[in-house]
Structure 1
Amino acid sequence: MSVKILPAIIGLTGIVSTSAHAEIPQQKSNDTHYNILWLSCEDINPGLGCYGATGVKTPNLDRLAAEGIRYTHVYSTVGVCAPSRSSIITGMYPVSIGTQNMRTGPHWAYRPAEKETYETYWGVRDVRGRNVPQYAAVLPEDVRCFPEYLRAAGYFCTNNAKTDYQFNAPITAWDECNHQAHWRNRPDGKPFFSVFNFEVTHESRIWLKKDDPMLADTAAVRIPAYYPDIPVVRKDVSRNYSNIMELDQQIGAFLDSLKKDGLLDKTIIVFWSDHGGPLLRQKRDVGNAGLHVPLIIRFPDKRMAGTVDDRLVSLMDLGPTTLSLVGIKPPAYMQGKPFLGEYAVEKPHEYIFGSADRFDEAVDMRRSVIDGRFVYIRNFYPELPLIFRNKYREQIDMTRDLIEMSRLGELHGDAAYIWKPTKPAEELYDLSTDPDEVHNLAGNPEYEAKLKELRKALSHWQLEVADKGFIPERDLVEMMWPGGIQPVTQPVSFHPDNKSQLVLSSETPGASIAYQSGDSIGTKHWSLYHKPVKMTPGKQIRAVAIRIGYRQSGETTFMVPEK
């Protein structure tokens, strides 16, 4: 396998920042004091009743859509969870910040600093066949987890509980980040931003729940053209829809609890999936099937209820949009575009860009451009097959059976399309006539203009974001962790001013700071430092610093002198 490297784009540094805390502009929006609730699920395309799916009933999500805005052209940046979630939490393309490979380490949930450890060998190799150890991606120094900006603006921010950001969630990102995290734990009078992740639709539930009662109508579910319509395929496709119906029940119960708490008319609700479907040619794919997701947003006053919005939206836009909804101007470094609120952009995305690189033990490099109708894919290793071997997904019955059928030459027509031993260098699909992306138009002269347009858009984008997929992963790790050693954030220094306030800083560029004071010392809650701390005579202040991807600093303390 040859390795393609683009020297002009291998830099890892971002916009230089010397600030010791997140700077928050004045809030302007009328929605400033609304709560924000994210209901995120895993691994589904828009396979809901309100999107026209057959064989599945989703009355609770359908009602949410009827009372809110249903977005039809929403896409993840990557067709798998960890790179996609890194994009969502930062508002950045994974390929621009070095989080594009699935996955970098055991980052499924927050780990306290003392439990943040990494294996030097776990069976992963880069495109040159070199060992890739576990690591935490080191991001450009200006990049923060966007909830820090909400915390600095007075929001109580909770995440229950999955993180999977490609780095350990910094202690500064959330007020609470665990399975007990909840808006009900907020101090009186504080607005909240809460995230709850529903796992019932995850890929693994296809096999873990295969003996559960079937809720979907197996005869009515649609089988994509890239599968043969045989019993094992219909069973597993139906299980996916059955899990979606179970998800709908869980969402309904959750909305009932929000109403019971008297918060339904005070909370903006956002429902989304982290990437497309869980099955072959869906999860881990870079086309429409891998990236297309549902998005529903409901306002407390039901504004725009029943609206269908067909603008191109990236999941990378969710963070900037949340900031915009509460009147916070998204930082200039963010590549995501706010599409609602005070700072909504006038011009939506012209294109959606996707990426696919290493997935567990399998390496590849693919990029895509989607304009809402056409899908363009560039395969940088066309000598590799589209369907690569992956131990994790081969726990699904239909996956194992289809691999064997392909080996025996028993797949034909469209069902054989995804099983070719190599890939074309370029792919082009027209979703209006080919929703399953099985008829490649890249060699059709009638579509030459569209092919050139999307090819050019991809090249410009890769240069603009400095696509780090061209860097072999072992070299990328070395750039982030020189010598294979995780950098350590420098400790916090304390600087009393002449206003009875304490200024906190760290010598590590891009570090965020968390602190405890008075009675909070020794508890699990750490406040985000974003402005000088008032000094109370005789009280102690304890602080730590953390830059994303670095090891957290040790604790330092300051005792405020008695007067």
Structure 2
Amino acid sequence: WKKAPADQPIFAQFQLSGGKNRKAKSHADPEQVVLPPYYPDHPVLRQDWAKYLDSWVKTDEEVGRILADLEKAGRLDATAVFLWTDHGVSHLRGKQFLYEEGILVPLVIRLPNKQRAGTVRNDLIEHIDVAACSLKLAGIKIPGNVQGRDFLADDYKPRKFVFAARDRCDETVDVLRCVRGSRYKYVRNFMSHVSHAQPSQYKDGKKIVQVIRGLYEEGKLNEQQSRPFLPRRPPEELYDLQADPHELVNLATDPKLRDRLADMRKVLHQHMTETRDMGLIPEPILEDVGREAGNKYLAFLKKDRGEQTLRLIEAITAGEANDGAKLLEYAKSPDPATRYWAAVWLGVNKTTEGKAALLTLSADPVPTVRIGATQALCKFGDLGQMKVLVEHIEDPNLLVGMFALRAIEELGDAGKASREAIASAQKSKYEFSRRIARRLTGKLR
């Protein structure tokens, strides 16, 4: 705006470094910080949390300089300023996960001429609402297909629920969804058969995660602090945020809250179908579907997408309930995504009747389904199937190769049968395949 004419409307966005800056000037005393109870009291964690608080002081200073520049330019009283973050602190339960530490973020607004100054609101809003609000402030009509709401409007109706999601982050495949109301929050772990703290170069490279994992391996964490490292997760989590703001007590199995659980589950499923959520379609399959349709967004427009989402939820739920009959039925589905999840859960449950179906799926025309079935057969002890996983490492669809490498990694010691292929995968065109290959090479030495 410094070079713009005085009467020229402006729009600017700044990416502040403060929130990510762990080298900011020290203000917080590590001995005085209060750690969340789901983290162990350890000097490394105290120091990290103190630096996190210091980073907010840095952010405050950066915002102050921007406001000073606006004032110097004579624009401050005619400008709306929004401050928010994209996610919470980058900690074990924070960034990339759906606990409050990861999704509860600040939103601070300064309106022209200090309108509504000092107002504090507890509305449930989403990032997309900032877009709608910005359009309205600029005098632009909010298009009908914009899902955001103008929360500054006189006729604004607060949301009853907000939603959050997490899918693959880098090389770590996961599928989580949540719905949060004013008091209760429901989290759905669609990959409950794997650990919360799956291998991740990004997360595992942090000293804080290394310390917590080390304490877990030494048996020095309590039950709540140990949860991220358990081999499996509960499919559903329900928290009373009013009584339990740190989300320590999972109420999903509480008989008194059975109706609440069912209601929030229904709200989430309805949202997933209405928005045609494609997160349950394995990403390599989605990549192929996108190529066939022209792009993934054209694939998104298919009218039966919501029906497919419900079917995939049902297939995963059948696996979690160890419903072999339903899984065998889903294994014959014409939809490859459904066949994939059937294969995954037949392998997790390792039932005798499931092995024959897995042998059929191991010859499936879709590579991702073959990977799911082959990994499952290896869990039955049929390590001769490992060659199928190895063959897919160099698939032209780079996501297929990554899925194959991750399947080998999940098999643990069984994956040692493919040492040479893993070494070769360190030269993959795909960075995230290379990450898994490097990690596996270190374990196989």
TM-score, normalization by structure 2: 0.63
1:259 corresponds, among 43, 60, 71, to 71
**Mapped partners of 2:214, 2:249: distance in 1:** 24
1:277 aligns with 89
2:3 corresponds, among 185, 206, 231, to 185
**Mapped partners of 1:430, 1:220: distance in 2:** 28
1:299 aligns with 111
1:328 aligns with 140
- Checking the alignment, whether the CA contact within 8 Å between 2:162 and 2:180 is kept in structure 1 is yes
**Mapped partners of 2:72, 2:232: distance in 1:** 55
**Alignment CA distance shift 1:465-1:484 (3 Å):** closer
SS at match of 2:122: strand
1:77 aligns with none
- Asked if 1:369 is matched to 2:187, the reply is no
Aligned residues: 297
**Mapped partners of 1:345, 1:287: distance in 2:** 31
SS at match of 2:69: helix
SS at match of 2:210: helix
**Alignment CA distance shift 1:287-1:351 (3 Å):** same
**Alignment CA distance shift 1:477-1:186 (3 Å):** farther
**Mapped partners of 1:319, 1:345: distance in 2:** 17
**Mapped partners of 2:25, 2:108: distance in 1:** 28
Higher fraction of helix: 2
- Checking the alignment, whether the CA contact within 8 Å between 1:200 and 1:246 is kept in structure 2 is yes
What code does the residue aligned with 1:417 have? R
1:411 aligns with 221
- Asked if 1:383 is matched to 2:193, the reply is yes
**Mapped partners of 2:72, 2:100: distance in 1:** 38
SS at match of 1:276: coil
2:36 aligns with 224
- Asked if 1:465 is matched to 2:288, the reply is no
CA shift, 1:484, in A, is 9.5
Higher fraction of strand: 1
Percent of residue pairs identical: 35
CA shift, 1:347, in A, is 1.9
- Checking the alignment, whether the CA contact within 8 Å between 1:367 and 1:378 is kept in structure 2 is yes
CA shift, 1:413, in A, is 3.4
- Checking the alignment, whether the CA contact within 8 Å between 1:478 and 1:484 is kept in structure 2 is no
SS at match of 2:8: coil
Structure 1 unaligned residues grouped into runs of 5+: 1-182, 488-563
SS at match of 2:68: helix
1:122-152 superposed Cα distances (whole Å, 9 cap, x missing partner):
xxxxxxxxxxxxxxxxxxxxxxxxxxxxxxx
1:215 aligns with 27
CA shift, 1:329, in A, is 1.8
Structure 2 unaligned residues grouped into runs of 5+: 298-445
CA shift, 1:485, in A, is 9.2
Give the 5 Å matches for 1:303-452. 303-341=115-153, 346-452=156-262
Give the 5 Å matches for 1:2-401. 183-202=1-20, 205-206=21-22, 209=23, 213-341=25-153, 346-401=156-211
What code does the residue aligned with 1:197 have? Q
SS at match of 1:308: coil
CA shift, 1:300, in A, is 1.6
TM-score, normalization by structure 1: 0.50
2:289 corresponds, among 479, 502, 511, to 479
1:494-526 superposed Cα distances (whole Å, 9 cap, x missing partner):
xxxxxxxxxxxxxxxxxxxxxxxxxxxxxxxxx
**Mapped partners of 2:3, 2:203: distance in 1:** 38
What code does the residue aligned with 1:196 have? F
**Alignment CA distance shift 1:300-1:461 (3 Å):** same
CA shift, 1:483, in A, is 9.6
**Mapped partners of 2:34, 2:241: distance in 1:** 16
SS at match of 1:198: coil
SS at match of 1:324: helix
**Mapped partners of 1:365, 1:485: distance in 2:** 22
- Checking the alignment, whether the CA contact within 8 Å between 2:45 and 2:208 is kept in structure 1 is yes
**Mapped partners of 2:243, 2:265: distance in 1:** 21
**Mapped partners of 1:290, 1:453: distance in 2:** 24
1:508-549 superposed Cα distances (whole Å, 9 cap, x missing partner):
xxxxxxxxxxxxxxxxxxxxxxxxxxxxxxxxxxxxxxxxxx
CA shift, 1:188, in A, is 5.0
SS at match of 2:112: coil
**Mapped partners of 2:92, 2:241: distance in 1:** 19
